[in-house]
Amino acid sequence: MPASNLNPAANAAQTITVELPQNPYNISIANGNLATIGTAMQNPQLKLGRKVLVVSNPTIFKHYGQIVVAAIEAAGFSVNSCILPAGERYKTPASIQKIHDAALEMRLERSSTMVALGGGVIGDMTGFAAATWLRGINVIQVPTSLLAMVDSSIGGKTGVNHPKGKNLIGAFHQPKLVVIDPTVLKTLPAREFRAGMAEVIKYGVNWDKALFEHMEAAKRLDQLRYVSEALLNTIITHSCQAKAVVVAKDEKESGLREILNYGHTIGHAVESLTGYRVVNHGEGVGIGMVAAGEIAVEMGWWSREECDRQNILIEKCHLPTRLPAIIDISAVVPKLQTDKKVKAGKVRFVLPKQIGTVAVTDQVTPEIIQPVLQQLASA
């Protein structure tokens, strides 16, 4: 459970440690953190070599490339950059080859570092390129979206998509450091902000009741400008703390870490069945949490009242709570069978027992799922 003293004054710098036995690392959270990243990289404990490759996309690099490159160069590193087109459809083995070509061009050594400056796509690809160059070089995650800050930049899951499935190709490769500068969220599109909020609500339900209640107390959560600096700080630090604790206990997802998939079983199916064009990942997770909550109520695991509180919070973020109209509902259950987390042919669900506590089960039958999906069908 998160420490109760984790609700600091707004804007105070925070460091959260992911306490992995082999390779512990810090998540540094502070306004203005991008401008001091070079100093952070000089920490001798990190043992970073001189060469640094910054990987980003054109939009992010236009906003933040100069400040990051200048900060790293000022700290005495030699920096090149590799700019990849933005978007999930470029999260492919071909993009990894481009990063590797840049690595070869720069003659990156085993002690060299890749810096992922961007959202989840850039983070996943850069992490995977670093995992597979010279059998693993350093990577520093500098997430610029809320979703990447609270989720994908922490925990070492890296990878790209196979033409027939998301994230099927990848590796576990922990970063050396995660550098979060909440001020960059001001350039994040509102829809992306809301997508990140879905993962934050996830931590409220599967881990951190206090975080859930902080968000319940807010008036509006659908755009960054309605969120106070103190609440934003709570959102980021509590989420990172939750992720850090879970990952430290189960790096390779052989047990506890599975709870981080709350909302993701139906969520992934919805993303996939809409061709990754209609619903983004956070929106999928939002719909998935509503579905998982209703299944938990149906199975007697969760109270109707708490499930409603969850759904109201999801609605407050202006996240969808119903299945997109274009989805063929009968295709959802078969799609679940192709989930990466299927074990011995059985689909696994993370279901709430109370706000802050979930459990994993493979006992959810199509007979339970189907009526819930009908109920969530768009009117």
Cα–Cα distance measured from residue 346 to residue 86, given in angstroms and rounded to the nearest whole number: 35
Given candidates 133, 203, 212, 349, which one binds its own copies under the rule CB under 8 A?
Answer: 133
* Window 140 to 159, contacts with its own copies (CB under 8 A): 157-159
> Does 366 help bind its own copies (rule: CB under 8 A)?
no
Stretch that binds its own copies, among 29-37, 166-174, 348-356, 370-378 (CB under 8 A): 166-174
Cα–Cα distance measured from residue 297 to residue 26, given in angstroms and rounded to the nearest whole number: 38
Residue 281 is assigned to a ligand binding site: yes
* Window 238 to 267, contacts with its own copies (CB under 8 A): 252
> Does 10 help bind its own copies (rule: CB under 8 A)?
no
Chain centroid to Cα 251, Å, comes to 15
- The CB-of-145 to its own copies minimum distance in angstroms stands at 22
Please state, in angstroms and as integers, the Cα–Cα distance from residue 268 to each residue in 136, 251, 288, following that order: 29, 22, 8
Tell me, letter by letter, the H, E, C secondary structure of 295-359: HHHHCCCCCHHHHHHHHHHHHHCCCCCCECCCCCHHHHHHHHCCCCCCECCECCEEEEEECCEEE
Cα–Cα distance measured from residue 169 to residue 158, given in angstroms and rounded to the nearest whole number: 9
- The CB-of-218 to its own copies minimum distance in angstroms stands at 35
- x-or-dash pattern for its own copies, window 30-49, by CB under 8 A? -------------------x
Give 223's DSSP letter. Answer: S
User: Contact at 8 Å (CB) between 226 and 8?
Assistant: no
> Does 186 help bind its own copies (rule: CB under 8 A)?
no
Give the list of residues 6+ apart from residue 288 with CB closer than 8 angstroms, or none.
263, 264, 265, 266, 267, 268, 270
- The CB-of-81 to its own copies minimum distance in angstroms stands at 20
Residue labelled with tokens 């990848």: 170
Apex CA 13: angle with CA 174 and CA 212, to 5°? 75
Residue 121 is assigned to a ligand binding site: yes
Given candidates 62, 89, 110, 191, which one binds its own copies under the rule CB under 8 A?
Answer: 110
Is the Cβ of residue 67 or residue 360 nearer to its own copies in the bound state?
A: 360
- The CB-of-66 to its own copies minimum distance in angstroms stands at 28
> Does 170 help bind its own copies (rule: CB under 8 A)?
yes
> Does 343 help bind its own copies (rule: CB under 8 A)?
yes
Is the Cβ of residue 51 or residue 309 nearer to its own copies in the bound state?
A: 51
Binding site for its own copies (CB under 8 A): 49-50, 93, 97, 100, 104, 107, 109-111, 128, 131-136, 157-159, 162, 164-165, 168-172, 252, 338, 340-344
Annotated binding site for Zn(2+): 199, 264, 281
